[in-house]
């Protein structure tokens, strides 16, 4: 029986990946002198924004990070709402007394900006953010399982990348892939999640 559902953020709760890439690219360009490719940016996912900026900006990384937060918040106006149906899923999970957690590679500051802008600040019982040194989703999953004393079979992690799947499998949890289709306008209910 499902007792705790943990969600990734970018690409899972909201279609924020293009915005994240654009904000990062805009922010580091003045400091590195060339436009970093989308592939290079995506390869750094799993690190929080501090780790990503430090990886490419050797001098004045603090200024580049400050620019990132400004650009990130400004570009958030392009994201109107969470993925269709996700708020209903959260409400349904809460109604079933299922704990809802957020596990994201984002840093706390960008995560707080996104949650506030999308009206999701009060949804999660736990918000676990990324590290600047190494991806830490597996450790966060293990922490949740231990803290809430939940058997692995009663936990699921919903993410949209192979990294999410790998981290969840390494921790021994069940991973569901977020492959939302706009035409379907539907996410799974808790009973459907359990059936998966």
The per-residue pLDDT for range 91-100, each reduced to its tens digit, is 999 999 999 9
% of the chain with per-residue pLDDT over 70 = 91
Distance (Å, rounded) from C-alpha 125 to C-alpha 86? Answer: 16
Distance (Å, rounded) from C-alpha 2 to C-alpha 4? Answer: 6
pLDDT in tens, 50-108: 999 999 999 999 999 999 999 999 998 887 789 989 999 999 999 999 999 999 999 99
| Domain coordinates in residue numbering, the chain | 4-15+81-195, 17-78
Instruction: Give the sign of the dihedral formed by CA 54, CA 38, CA 19, CA 188.
Output: negative
Report CA-CA distances (Å) from 43 to 36, 38, 159, 187: 12, 9, 17, 28
Do residues 31 and 63 make contact, with C-beta atoms less than 8 angstroms apart? Answer: yes
Closest CA to 120 of 43, 16, 22, 34: 16
Residue 72, pLDDT score: 96
pTM comes to 0.87
Distance (Å, rounded) from C-alpha 196 to C-alpha 184? Answer: 18
Which CATH number fits the domain 4-15+81-195, given the four candidates 3.40.50.9100, 3.40.50.1000, 3.40.640.10, 1.20.58.740?
3.40.50.1000
């Amino acid at each position: 029986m499902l007792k705790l559902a943990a969600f990734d953020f970018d690409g899972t709760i909201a279609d924020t990946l293009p915005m994240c890439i654009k904000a990062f690219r805009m922010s580091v360009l003045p400091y590195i002198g060339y436009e970093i490719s989308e592939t290079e940016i995506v390869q750094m996912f799993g690190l929080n924004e501090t780790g990503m900026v430090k990886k490419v900006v050797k001098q004045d990384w603090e200024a580049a990070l400050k620019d990132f937060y400004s650009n990130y918040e400004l570009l958030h106006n392009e994201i109107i709402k969470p993925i269709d149906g996700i708020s209903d899923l959260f409400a349904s999970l809460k109604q079933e007394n299922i704990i809802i957690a957020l596990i994201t590679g984002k840093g706390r500051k960008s995560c707080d900006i996104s949650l506030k802008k999308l009206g999701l600040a009060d949804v999660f019982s736990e918000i676990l953010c990324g590290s600047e040194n190494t991806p830490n989703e597996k450790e966060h999953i293990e922490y949740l399982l231990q803290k809430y004393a939940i058997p692995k079979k009663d936990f699921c992690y919903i993410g949209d990348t192979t990294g999410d799947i790998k981290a969840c499998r390494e921790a021994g949890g069940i991973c569901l892939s977020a492959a939302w289709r706009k035409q379907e306008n539907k996410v799974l209910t808790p009973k459907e999640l359990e059936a998966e």
